């Protein structure tokens, strides 16, 4: 649910008071009305944080299965399966986050519907193993559950918020129709699996575009930027966990300690650099740059590449440990590419979404794509993981020097 509201609700000031922690009284039920887009101190709620933590379980499962598939040499199958499963996780998370930014009432019905969505996400996580084997029944069941719970929320918003009723009903109808098609897809022959998946993804993307063209919802740019930043942190944390477990297993398998320590340091520098580069500029600065639906769609949808590549970096680091301990079917170059490709995708995605090729600060406008190309080239040289870490850290240094003294809009 993406869009840009041109006007605020007439009850904006009153609703901001009712929805803020200081002005909120404990009620089991309150009308679901749009939040004030200018509300101050709009922060993520404990329920949203729980949502993130539960959904990252599915991210971890998908990354683990990607590691298993790539380690056995099934590169094409592993990458494709990961991309498809990750879509289910990411799209469910994205739609909840944007809806909550505009309509969070935090009453009992809202909490119960959100908990059902979390149950759907955990069901998706439980079906990841089967999905990598070609059976998507459990993933689809979980995905449909979380999406239909979102429909309940939209129907409630339509009934209780007349000013957004048309938009809310458009969401409810569009989501429901696409869920029916996801279920029907399970009956299609395997030869149509990929084509039908791509068609349904486009239909999912089209629902917010069509719904928000009626009347934009009142999502909060600072809140959305924080939500995306928090999920980025969680995914990077999952990457650190995967790499740490890989080093531990490598030590247990008798791999050379010096090599593993060196690789662990390089991985840590790489993750730290990714964190720095993503958070160097506040995300809301791009979201508030123009009142356009295209801005919201490109920024919100584009984070699929940021989240997915960040998760894949952990898999690549695990494979690098496997390579050093002789527990993978991949060769040296293929193992290096498992790290360098997602890092390059991450840098290019952050560049496009947070920096922009026409940025007035030319060192970073040029530095991000140049660093991405150099990192890809490092795949074919000696010590590619270490060189990748050095290049990423070097880009951090460039951004620090080039942007010294700049102030970002608050």
Rounded to two decimals, the pTM is: 0.87
Cα–Cα distance for residue pair 14/24, rounded to 1 Å: 11
Residue entry with tokens 């240094």: 397
Q: Are 7 and 36 in contact (CB under 8 A)?
A: no
pLDDT value for 364: 86
- DSSP conformation letters of 272-320: HHHHHHHHSS-HHHHHTS---HHHHHHHHHHHHHHHHHHHHHHHHHHHH
Which residues lie closer than 8 Å to 152 by C-beta, 6 or more apart? Answer: 113
Per-residue pLDDT tens for 57-86? 999 999 999 999 998 889 999 999 999 999
pLDDT at site 323: 82
Residues of the chain with pLDDT under 50: 3-23, 409-410
pLDDT at 3: 46
Q: Return the closest-CA partner of residue 127 out of 119, 117, 118, 137.
A: 137
Give the per-residue pLDDT at 241: 85
Q: Which H or E element spans position 325? A: none
pLDDT at 246 (0 to 100)? 73
Residues 221-402, CATH architecture? Up-down Bundle (1.20)
Q: Where are the domains of the chain?
A: 45-212, 221-402
Q: Is 29 exposed, middle or buried, given 0-12, 13-18 or 19+ CB atoms closer than 10 A?
A: exposed
Instruction: Count other C-beta atoms under 10 Å from residue 150's C-beta.
Output: 25
d(CA 354, CA 410): 15
Instruction: List, in order, residues 6 or more apart from 175 with CB less than 8 Å away.
Output: 147, 148, 150, 151, 154, 207
């Amino acid at each position: 649910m993406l869009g840009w509201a041109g006007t605020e609700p007439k009850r904006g000031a009153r609703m901001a008071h009712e929805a803020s922690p200081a002005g909120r009284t404990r009620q089991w039920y309150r009308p679901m009305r749009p939040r004030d887009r200018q509300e101050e101190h709009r922060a993520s709620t404990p329920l949203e944080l729980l949502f993130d933590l539960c959904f990252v379980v599915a991210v971890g499962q998908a990354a683990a299965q990607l590691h298993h598939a790539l380690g056995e040499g099934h590169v094409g199958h592993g990458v494709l399966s990961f991309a498809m499963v990750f879509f289910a996780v990411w799209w469910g998370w994205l739609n909840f986050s944007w809806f909550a930014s505009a309509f969070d009432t935090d009453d009992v019905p809202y909490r119960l519907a959100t908990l059902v969505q979390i149950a759907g996400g955990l069901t998706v996580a439980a079906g990841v193993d089967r999905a990598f084997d070609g059976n998507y029944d459990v993933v689809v069941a979980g995905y449909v559950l979380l999406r239909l719970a979102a429909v309940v929320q939209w129907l409630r918003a339509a009934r209780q918020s007349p000013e957004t009723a048309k938009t809310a009903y458009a969401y409810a109808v569009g989501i429901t129709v696409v869920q029916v098609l996801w279920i029907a897809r399970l009956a299609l022959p395997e030869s149509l699996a990929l084509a039908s998946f791509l068609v349904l993804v486009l239909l999912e993307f089209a629902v917010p575009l069509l719904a928000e063209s009626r009347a934009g919802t009142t999502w909060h740019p600072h809140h959305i930027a924080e939500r995306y930043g928090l999920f980025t942190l969680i995914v990077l944390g999952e990457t650190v966990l995967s790499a740490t477990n890989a080093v531990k297993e490598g030590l247990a398998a008798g791999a050379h300690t010096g090599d593993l320590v060196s690789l662990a340091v390089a991985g840590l520098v790489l993750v730290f650099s990714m964190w720095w580069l993503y958070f160097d500029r506040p995300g809301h600065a791009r979201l508030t740059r123009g009142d356009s639906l295209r801005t919201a769609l490109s920024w919100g949808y584009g984070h699929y590449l940021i989240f997915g590549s960040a998760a894949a970096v952990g898999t690549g680091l695990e494979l690098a440990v496997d390579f050093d301990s002789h527990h993978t079917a991949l060769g040296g170059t293929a193992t290096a590419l498992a790290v360098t490709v997602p890092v390059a995708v991450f840098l290019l995605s952050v560049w496009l979404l947070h920096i922009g090729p026409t940025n007035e600060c030319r060192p970073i406008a040029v530095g991000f794509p140049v660093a991405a190309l150099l990192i890809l080239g490092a795949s074919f040289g000696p010590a590619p993981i270490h060189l990748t870490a050095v290049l990423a850290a070097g880009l951090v240094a460039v951004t620090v020097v080039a942007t010294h003294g700049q102030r970002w809009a608050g």
